[in-house]
Amino acid sequence: MDHAGLFADSPVNRGRQLELDVVRGLAILFMLLVHVHEAFAAYPFAPTWGTRLIRFLGGPPAAPVFMFALGVGVVYSRRSTVKALALRGLRLFVLAYALNFVRDSLSLCAAYLLTGEAENLEDAVTYFFAIDILAFAGLACLFFAAAIKLRFRTVHYIAAALLCAAANLPLSRITFESPALYRVTDLIWGTSEYTWFPFLTWIPFPIAGYLFGQLLLRCRDKQRFYKDCLWISIPALLAFVIFARLQDIDIGWVDGFWERSYFQHTLMGNLILLNMVIAWISVFFFLTPQLPDFVRNSLCRWSRNITEMYVIHWLILGFTWVILQGPFELSWIVVYFLFLVPVTDWLACRYLLLKAKLLPPKTAGGAAA
């Protein structure tokens, strides 16, 4: 494939990238779905096709897409300065633990008051220190702030991704029994079951997104670009999946479900999931024009409001769990999800309107992807 004329020497493809808004909107939708399932389904999960579909959609098309898009957004945003990224990273990091406290610690204390089970109090402390996607997003923003400060070039980003993946291989075998240790190391690599998004495992996704965004920004022909992406990512995905199976490399996909090793995967998991993400985005570049306006507009709105929707849905989910407990049948879970989506969407919009009135933005501009 001849790429000589595909990329310009300077940015030619500015503005919001609709296909990225659509896949980000789908990512938050799938996060809501899988979180409702986790909260209210009986464990171990029933091996049905409906359950497998929910678990799959809550996997590669959700968090990995969000992280990849985060990296693209750093390229396209007009606020990708060292100071802005550092402040955003710190805010997200603090928000992550504030959410843990309200969603987990307070709700588990409430559950203790209702049930008298001492285990709920222990879990209230444990889950306060759990590493969710917001904590990782905060660290990723701090990484990009440092990279911009150090004037990273493409080769430095590639080296950083490879070094993190390489360090993750030996460190992933090291775990700690002491909560005092793993509550710190969980931020960096998977030392306990309470870290879902350790830094070394997941930082290759926003870095890859950043490099992808640099190409997209200079792309003269998006249709040709995304066709090339499909021609490269799908064969690569199949090759890596076959290799992983032949070598018995665990990437977390067991009997149709993502297990703990999905959240704490190593290099092969990075390669498989990154190719899935690129193929997914490429497919939606071609599908997006065919979507009804209502669907496309909703997905774009959810993409813009993704952080607010993420926090709000967890607050609703955390406290309804205290009251309802469960477990429930899959049909009930789907109905709850269909209720949760519009409520979360509406509350996120109301919150942002109120915030705009109370704290009007000083300058215009924002992420373009």
pLDDT (mean) for 196-220: 97
d(CA 334, CA 156): 45
**Phi, psi torsion values for 257, nearest 5 degrees:** -130, 145
Q: What sign does the dihedral 216-222-224-226 (CA atoms) show? A: positive
d(CA 313, CA 319): 10
pLDDT (mean) for 304-322: 94
**pLDDT tens, 16-32?**
899 999 999 999 999 99
Q: Is the pLDDT assigned to residue 284 strictly greater than 80?
A: yes
| 287's tokens | 């599908």
Q: What pLDDT is recorded for position 1?
A: 47
Q: What pLDDT is recorded for position 170?
A: 92
How far is residue 340 from each of residues 131, 284, 323, 332, 335, measured CA to CA in Å?
A: 24, 25, 16, 12, 9
Q: Is the pLDDT assigned to residue 253 strictly greater than 80?
A: no
Q: Using 50, 70 and 90 to split pLDDT, how confident is the model at 190? A: confident
Q: What pLDDT is recorded for position 347?
A: 98
Q: What pLDDT is recorded for position 366?
A: 42
Q: What pLDDT is recorded for position 180?
A: 82
Question: Which position has the token pair 């802005």?
Answer: 84
Q: Using 50, 70 and 90 to split pLDDT, how confident is the model at 365? A: very low
Note the residue count of the chain: 369
Q: What pLDDT is recorded for position 367?
A: 42
Q: What pLDDT is recorded for position 4?
A: 59
Q: What pLDDT is recorded for position 364?
A: 41
Q: What pLDDT is recorded for position 178?
A: 82
pLDDT (mean) for 254-278: 87
Q: What pLDDT is recorded for position 300?
A: 97
**pLDDT tens, 91-127?**
999 999 999 999 999 989 988 888 888 888 999 999 9
Q: Using 50, 70 and 90 to split pLDDT, how confident is the model at 193? A: confident
Lowest mean pLDDT among 37-51, 69-83, 272-286, 349-363: 349-363
pLDDT (mean) for 305-317: 97
Q: Is the pLDDT assigned to residue 185 strictly greater than 80?
A: yes
d(CA 144, CA 36): 32
**pLDDT tens, 154-166?**
999 999 999 999 9
Helix (H) or strand (E) holding 257: strand 257-258
Task: Encode 288-307: b = buried (16+ Cβ within 10 Å), e = exposed.
Answer: beeeeeeebebbbbbbbbbb
Q: What pLDDT is recorded for position 3?
A: 53
d(CA 68, CA 60): 11
Q: Is the pLDDT assigned to residue 256 strictly greater than 80?
A: no
Chain mean pLDDT for the chain: 92
Q: What pLDDT is recorded for position 369?
A: 46
Q: What pLDDT is recorded for position 362?
A: 63
